[in-house]
Chain A
Amino acid sequence: MTSKPLALYLHIPFCASKCPYCDFYSGRYPAETRERYVEALKEELETGFRSRAFLPPDVYSRPLSSVYFGGGTPSLLGAELLTDLLNAARRRFPVLPDAEITVEVNPSLEAPESFFAALAKSGVNRVSLGLQSAVDAERKKLGRRAGRADAERCVKAAYAAGIENVSLDVMLGIPGQTPASLNETLSFAVDLGVPHLSCYLLKIEPGTPFFKLRDKLDLPDDDASADFYLQTCVFLEARGYRHYEVSNFCRDGLIGRHNMTYWADGEYLGLGPGAHSFLNGTRFFQPPDLESFLAGAPAEYEGAGGDEAERLMLRLRTDLGAPVSAFPEKGNEIAAMERNGLVTVRDGQLCFTDKGFLVSNAVLAELL
């Protein structure tokens, strides 16, 4: 009997500077703190001290199907510390031979060639690069320091190091964005030949600088944002990309398997401040606070997970869809949604259309 695979997420809460739209937990800390953090995270991998209340006894015999270094800016740690962490994970867990090992990278690297070479050597086989826009004026508005040329150099360096599975983040609805500038960004990405793109609509989150400035930002309205999204879908689908999740596109079957775990009812262990986990039907998370994490604060219970409604909600984010039989009392509503081009029903599977993804919250609130 083989035990069920597990996805491992390691949160790296450091950034060289904070982007004004981002509400993920991260901050600026000196190198010494970063090193201390890596030690603490290794210790957590080793002992499971902070999450022990939630860890099933067999957890360390579960093979890892993916490891994901997210942030923050994991690349800020440098290849050596990342390798260190990855090795710590390998010491504690069996890792499947085809495991997807991803590092999120900010393109403002000084020496991408040696960085990616070192990552590849330690087993990293996927890179997610924060491009956001290929138009430097737009990148500047988003507080991104690297330019288009830096991003291009990174992608090529990753390829050169043998990491072919590169994903680019593209942002939709940037202040001042136009259909033409979005076209430029998408062309840039496709021309680089990346097999994966995450294209997400900018959301103004409370607590961010953009939230305070929102009335002065010249943000595209909902209609314009929706048009950017549909433009992206059309552009990428025409070039052979599969729109496999609300904001994700891939070629050659190279879906982001780690993220797919979240959406397809898989189990995952997240370590680091702000990281979330789902194991044995329980959701828990590490409080988003670096100091308390270093001090050994325990993970906290978030609630039960994995019920039917949650599974449907998550699966409907993807092109897996959900069986229409799961909504026996919603026949009229689903028919109306289908008529209006928001969903399709094929072979008993209900899936969102591109237009439907855009209003998926409203649809889900109706269906669930």
Chain B
Amino acid sequence: MKQKKTHIRNFCIIEHIDHGKSTLADRLLELTDSVSQRDMQQQVLDNMDIEKERGITIKARAVTLNYKAADGEEYELNLIDTPGHVDFNYEVSRSLAACDGAVLIVDATQGVEAQTLGNTYLALDHDLELVPVINKIDLPAADPDRVCADVEEIIGLDCSEAPRISAKTGENVPAVLESIVKNIPAPEGDDDAPLKALVFDSVYDNYKGVIVYVRVMDGTLKAGETMKMMATGAKYTVVEVGRMRALNLEPCDELHAGEVGYITASIKSVVDARVGDTVTKVENEAAAPLPGYKKVNPMVFCGVYPADGADYEALREALEKLQLNDASLAFEPETSGALGFGFRCGFLGLLHLEIIQERLEREYDLDLITTIPSVVYKIHLSDGTMVEISNPTNYPDPATIQYSEEPVTDAHIYSPPEYVGVIMDLCQERRGSFKNMDYISKDRVDIHYILPLNEIIYDFFDALKSRTRGYGSFDYELKGYERSNLVKLDVLLNGDLIDALSFIIHADKAYPRARRIAEKLKENIPRQMFEIPVQIAIGGKVIARETIKAMRKDVLAKCYGGDITRKKKLLEKQKEGKKRMRRFGTVEVPQEAFMAVLKLDDDK
């Protein structure tokens, strides 16, 4: 059934992480009878396990809700979910572009935080009408008056009528729906103009092929028509169009300007329906695509290897399957002397990397070893050429290097003023260069730094959280490349180079990092039959060393009573354990040692 444009609202919910977006989404689904109580799983919108556990939304989803408002009219509310992490900024921006307004959730106990601001600015960039909502009023520490004042002062948004709710208990949630209807404008657009539909997500389905989620800006589309992806030029015959419901897809005859819906057209891979692309029709093609499309490039790379070499093919298949649904995941085969056959994978950021790694391990039951993540460095050689390096193995001979460049980011850190000192220390340690600092309110500062990307991809966020007792938050975007003084660190165990542990680092960081790595390896490589020297070297020069002492005791002293089976089982278990280790020459290295090298600052 076609809804009049005046009765459509396209909106998203934005927040700082954990302010209650998913819970509110659940309540809205319940209130609009989009899901029966029986089908109500917690947080229907986030339908990946990892999302549920981490409480973050990774991929956008959308759902159409039918709501009868207080004015007696029936409205079609299209809730477009947005990813909530800096790794997915581009996807967020495309989801926002599909909306006309945004519900801004602010936690009544926390107030305005980094992503509250970051996402607000993003929403304002897309001219979205903002509907503030104060959540978590049921908590004892809630201070909605202060938080409203915060929002008014920092964001300049009138909160006098902002619903004060508890998404958890459901208190006052209907006011949110009313506020959406009242304050978010109806979509514009012309049914008779050439079709322009914005792809804000695409999902691979085994039966239907790619399901393309779109917001129709102008024009109409129905099954049987020939559509065209404007960025790739690929053409498809539309098989089905329809709306997204909470638990299923609901086909309809035609999608119209202003509506949010899906298209299926036997598209084989999400790579062919990239987020941000514009769908038009071959007949009456749009003159120009919608603005804002870009092909997102991975920023963080690492080697991903099966712990058991026999799983190589299984890993390839798993990566291929994940890529069907994740156009920003890149991978190509690589070989490591230490780890055998594996893949060099590219990710949007460290969270993206961790998510993929976890999905590979959980959903595909693979044991993985990942190498230290790297960014893409630009190495300018004496012969005037430039190579882009994201794999330390390919690092050129230092004698041939004229100079190097590394990617840097514009980073904003938001925090109460009392942590400015520790934050500046942290940024200084991470080779940041200070730009400026703004008091955005009397108890909130925005500290602006230029930070090298390789300093923030590992553990910057964790370090920030722990040093600011959880009050600090941050947001970054890639700024460009700057000249840098880089070196490659090599790890040698018992004299053998372990290529998978090599990495590229700023020269000033090399010595302390080398010492930490040597210590970490010593802690995490179990004592073995023989003493093992651990050396960290630049070129041929060892700059840090440790020794893993030989194991002293590993014996079943008592073997009486004829219980040989038990002894055999112990031996089997021990051999099993050896299989889970990687063997380098005579040294066996457990996966944990690789992990430990990645997370060097955990125990600071």
Q: Are A363 and B529 in contact (CB under 8 A)?
A: yes
Q: Give Cα distance in the complex from A259 to B560, angstroms.
A: 7
Interface size class of B (residues with CB under 8 A): 20 to 34
Q: Is B564 an interface residue (CB 8 A)?
A: yes
**Please, which residue of chain A has its CB at the minimum distance from the CB of B558?**
A200
Q: Are A283 and B554 in contact (CB under 8 A)?
A: no
Q: Are B561 and A246 in contact (CB under 8 A)?
A: no
Q: How many A-B residue pairs have CB under 8 A?
A: 114
Determine, out of B248-256, B377-385, B545-553, the stretch whose residues face the partner at the interface. B545-553
Q: Give Cα distance in the complex from A132 to B381, angstroms.
A: 71
Q: Which residues of B contact A246 (CB under 8 A)?
A: 555-557, 559
Determine, out of B92-100, B163-171, B566-574, the stretch whose residues face the partner at the interface. B566-574
Q: Give Cα distance in the complex from A226 to B555, angstroms.
A: 10
Q: Give Cα distance in the complex from A24 to B560, angstroms.
A: 10
Q: Give Cα distance in the complex from A357 to B555, angstroms.
A: 7
Q: Is A203 an interface residue (CB 8 A)?
A: yes
Q: Which residues of B contact A357 (CB under 8 A)?
A: 555
Q: Are B554 and A362 in contact (CB under 8 A)?
A: yes
Our pick among B530, B563, B571 for the contact of A276 (Cβ within 8 Å) is B563
Q: Is B66 an interface residue (CB 8 A)?
A: no
**Please, which residue of chain B has its CB at the minimum distance from the CB of A128?**
B560
Q: Are A229 and B575 in contact (CB under 8 A)?
A: no
Q: Give Cα distance in the complex from A314 to B561, angstroms.
A: 13
Q: Give Cα distance in the complex from A350 to B558, angstroms.
A: 21
For residue A322, give the distance in angstroms from its CB to the closest CB of chain B: 14
Q: Are B556 and A361 in contact (CB under 8 A)?
A: yes
Q: Are B555 and A201 in contact (CB under 8 A)?
A: yes
Q: Is A310 an interface residue (CB 8 A)?
A: yes
Our pick among B554, B558, B586 for the contact of A361 (Cβ within 8 Å) is B554
Q: Give Cα distance in the complex from A347 to B586, angstroms.
A: 26
Q: Is A324 an interface residue (CB 8 A)?
A: no
Q: Are B559 and A263 in contact (CB under 8 A)?
A: yes
- Which residue, of B529, B560, B562, B565, has the highest number of chain A Cβ atoms within 10 A? B562
Q: Are B571 and A226 in contact (CB under 8 A)?
A: no
Per-position 1/0 for A233-248, Cβ under 8 A of B: 0000000000000110
| Chain B 169-185 interface residues, beta-carbon cutoff 8 Å to A | none
Our pick among B529, B551, B567, B586 for the contact of A313 (Cβ within 8 Å) is B567
Q: Give Cα distance in the complex from A24 to B561, angstroms.
A: 9
Q: Is A342 an interface residue (CB 8 A)?
A: yes
Known: A310-B568, A365-B571. A70 touches B561 (CB 8 A): yes
Known contacts A9-B561, A285-B565, A361-B574; 5 further A-B pairs (Cβ under 8 A): A200-B558, A336-B529, A342-B529, A357-B555, A358-B554
Could you jot down 15 A-B contacts, CB within 8 Å?
A24-B561, A201-B553, A222-B552, A229-B553, A246-B557, A276-B564, A337-B529, A342-B529, A357-B555, A358-B555, A359-B551, A361-B554, A362-B551, A364-B571, A364-B574
Top 5 nearest A-B pairs (CB, nearest first) are A226-B552, A200-B557, A276-B562, A365-B574, A201-B557
User: Which residues of chain A have a CB within 8 Å of any CB of chain B?
Assistant: 9, 11, 24, 70, 172, 200-201, 203, 222-223, 225-226, 229, 246-247, 259, 262-263, 268, 270, 274-278, 283, 285, 302-303, 305, 310, 313-314, 317, 333, 336-337, 340, 342, 357-366, 368
